[in-house]
């Protein structure tokens, strides 16, 4: 027990948590528990995860901002290789922090995990040459349930690290660069609308 350190309600956004596991290391390497239900419940977090996902992306890839329309998911995310800047945006109706965002660097070095409750949009930007990203979900994947909104919406104002470019009224990545190289977004992610036109 007691193998995690939990920072709750980060940036004043209820439900968002940063979790740091205890690392047991020596000259041979390290060991850590990546998930322990007893520790989570001891910290006051009661979630049943049903699906694990993993993705690999190259530097400059930005995925998001995504949410589920009818089957919302709580996610516990982490980077197991490389570094990403991970972002959650509060979309909960009636929330005092509706539209507020929080971002955190997740890396294989810091081994931090980010708990994102249901009702948030989520996205991440790859800062390293490659990154492998994995996340636990408390509901299964449902086809055709993904929604999204513009990653660069000035109404939200996410400060993506090291990204330069000028908002031109859409989610297009045209003209945006990370360390001098163009950002890499899917065609779908360049067509989402801003928060005011999405809800």
- Catalytically active residues are 66, 135
Closest CA to 79 of 104, 48, 49: 104
Q: Is 10 helix (H, G, I), strand (E, B) or coil?
A: helix
Instruction: Report the C-alpha dihedral over residues 151, 164, 97, 114, rounded to 10 degrees.
Output: 80
Where residue 60 falls (left for φ over 0; alpha for ψ -120 to 50; beta otherwise) is left
Closest CA to 119 of 156, 95, 92: 92
């Amino acid at each position: 027990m007691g193998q995690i350190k939990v920072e709750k309600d980060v940036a004043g956004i209820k439900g968002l948590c940063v979790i740091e596991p205890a690392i047991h290391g020596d000259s041979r390497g390290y060991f850590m528990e990546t998930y322990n239900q007893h520790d989570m419940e001891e910290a006051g977090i009661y979630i049943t995860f049903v699906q694990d996902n993993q993705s690999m992306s190259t530097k400059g890839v930005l995925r998001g901002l995504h949410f589920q329309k009818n089957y919302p998911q709580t996610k516990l995310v982490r980077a197991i290789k490389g570094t990403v800047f991970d972002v959650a945006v509060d979309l909960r109706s009636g929330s005092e922090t509706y539209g507020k965002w929080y971002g955190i660097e997740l890396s294989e070095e810091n081994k931090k995990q980010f708990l994102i409750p249901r009702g948030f949009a989520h996205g991440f930007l790859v800062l390293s040459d490659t990154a492998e990203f994995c996340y636990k979900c408390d509901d299964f994947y449902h086809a055709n349930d993904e929604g999204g909104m513009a990653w660069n919406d000035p109404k939200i104002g996410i400060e993506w690290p090291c990204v330069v470019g000028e908002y031109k009224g859409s989610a297009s990545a045209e003209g945006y660069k990370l360390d001098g190289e163009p950002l890499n977004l899917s065609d779908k992610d360049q067509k989402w609308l801003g928060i005011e036109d999405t809800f």
